Amino acid sequence: MFKRIFITLIIFFQFISFNGNSTNPIDTLRFGVEYYSNFEDNLDSLLNLWYIKNSLKTDYSANYENEFTDVPEFSDSVYIERLKNIPSVVELNYNPIVRNYIHVYTKKRRENVQAMIGLSDYYFPIIEEIFEGYGIPTELKYMAVIESALNPRAVSRVGATGMWQFMYGTARMYNLTINSYVDERRDPVKSAHAAAKFMQDLYSMFNDWTLVIAAYNCGPGNVNKAIRRTGGKRDFWELYYHLPRETRGYVPAFIAAAYTMNYYKEHYISPVIPEISIATDTLMISDNLHLKQISDVLGIPLQQIRDLNPQYKIDIIPAKGHSYPITLPMNFTGKFITFKDSIFSYKDSIFFTADNTIKSPQKSYYIPTAPTGREKLVYTVKSGDNLGFIAAWYNVGLSDLRYWNNIRGNTIRSGQNIVVYVPKKSAGKYSDINSLSFEEKQQRIGKSGTPPDEIISQPATGNYVYYTVRSGDTLWEIAKRYPGVTETEIMKLNNMTSGRSLKAGQTIKIKPKG
């Protein structure tokens, strides 16, 4: 107990020293600044949803702002007592960092938070039911507040998507479909199932829900590193300064979100009830359907259908040979069933033409226009080459190299000819690269001359090998080198949350089969 009080005092004095003479404590908040920026972006994005924009235009009667001009602020003892009274298996500790985040919700963005609180009536029951089924504490639903501001279309600066902010690799690990038509990271139901499974896995590692919250943000690897660096301590506040900066703010923000969602009335914040039907129903679709077909036949605003079904990226439900759900307001589901044939046949020749489904192959060639002032060279791929190496050897952009050769991703094969456009005045400098050895090409750019196939170390105990990541490597390419190994297995073995975790020079552990 004394130790925890001591740590809290240290954090308090750090907070005071950062705060200086500023009149706005948020301006000097140095803990979790990336989280705070993401939260504001997601909240602003939330306000652009159809049902929120329409709600904000209405004059809702229970608006406390019309009755009270002063924004209330309470003493620390009041915040502490209120946090104690929230039913939670997760420890809801209090300190000046938590107070700062409470002020973010209840003072700085209070008007916008009204919309988020109103929307919680729609999303929280969905999340609670799913979490109950997995044995996840229902109060972890507040993580969706700090992840996305309850915005199913939220996208972070690094590509994390949806209400639960899944990166691509983690989403695929938990069986979320992502393709040109569908992104189930944005599906409120399926993404909540995936989040619950992820939390289950994290709890099996740490046996502590606060550490689960931290690991959800920064990955289990970073939490394990913090535990090792503190000699095995497993209390979040004792790990605090050994965690990434964003994660330091993430748990306090979670506590502040739990406080705000329970005590917003005491701060005179009234929910903006969204123009979204709280009563909805879900139907399964087993043939291709365009959202505009539903909108035009049933008279539902297209944007409202989109916001109820944010997982459909281009308004098409690609259900030919595969069933997909459609969520509609309850008062329209009966009409959908009654007019189902009319909906599917409505302008179907425009939305889904036979010509767009069946095409015969035509003889054609991809010939990009040569960039002005550049000369064309041809490089023949050798064993062990990758696009990252080739781009570096010719000093061109990787995306340019893909464009010039009509390549998607990073897959190339030995013997393949790669077109490269280099400045005409420098063409002579690069003309002999195709005939050089790997070591000579690497030396040209000041890199190690170790051939790619020699970068793997000797097997470790337990039949593991260690692989040093090279520039341009992907998990898929690395997995192909080893019998029976999958991307998912590599990620789990190395505590990765996505394939984006790969960095050149990083050493990863692999267990080949057979």
Neighbours of 34 (CB within 10 A): 16
DSSP 152: T
User: Are 5 and 237 in contact, with CB atoms under 8 Å apart?
Assistant: no
Alpha-carbon distance values, 62 to 74, 113, 273, 363 (Å): 23, 15, 10, 67
More confident residue, 257 or 447: 257
Per-residue pLDDT of 350-373, as tens digits, reads 777 654 444 555 544 455 666 777
Please state, in angstroms and rounded to a whole number, the distance separating the CA atoms of residues 25 and 23: 6
Domains of the chain and CATH, by start: 33-267 (1.10.530.10), 280-351 (no CATH), 374-452 (3.10.350.10), 455-510 (3.10.350.10)
The residue that leads in pLDDT, 290 or 31, is 290
> Structure tokens of 512?
């080949």
Residue 509 belongs to what H/E stretch?
strand 507-510
Q: Between these two residues, 432 and 364, which has the higher pLDDT value?
A: 432
pLDDT band at 474 (very low <50, low <70, confident <90, very high): confident
Q: Amino acid letter at 327?
A: T
DSSP output for 139-150 = GGGGHHHHHHTT
Q: Hey, is 484 helix, strand or coil?
A: coil
Of 251, 249, 40, nearest to 151 by C-alpha is: 40
pLDDT at 195 exceeding the cut of 90: yes
DSSP 346-390: TTHHHHS-HHHH----------PPPPTTEEEEEEE--TT--HHHH
Q: What is the pLDDT of residue 200?
A: 92
Contact indicator for 120, 143 with CB cutoff of 8 Å: no
Helix pair angle (188-206, 209-218), 10° resolution: 120
State the pLDDT at residue 127: 94
Half-sphere exposure of 296 (CA within 13 A, CB side): 13
- pLDDT tens figures, 12-26: 333 333 333 333 333
Task: Tell me: pLDDT of 452 over 70.
Answer: no
d(Cα 215, Cα 199) in Å, to the nearest integer?
9
**pTM for this predicted structure:** 0.61
pLDDT over 90 (residue 311) = yes
Top mean-pLDDT range of 138-142, 155-159, 483-487? 138-142
Amino acid at 60: Y
Per-residue pLDDT tens for 389-423?
888 899 887 777 887 887 766 667 777 889 999 88
Which pair of tokens denotes residue 82?
Answer: 């209120």
Instruction: Name the more confident of 271 and 32.
Output: 271
* Residue 99 pLDDT: 92
How many whole angstroms separate alpha carbon 107 and alpha carbon 264? 11
Whole-angstrom CA distances from 304 to 98, 312, 326, 341, 397 are 36, 13, 12, 22, 42
- Between the CA atoms of 495, 496, 497 and 503, what dihedral angle is there, to the nearest 10 degrees? 160
| Residue 139 clears pLDDT 90, i.e. is over it | yes
Q: Taking the CB of residue 139, how many other CB atoms lie within 10 A of it?
A: 21
Q: Which tokens belong to 40?
A: 């504001």
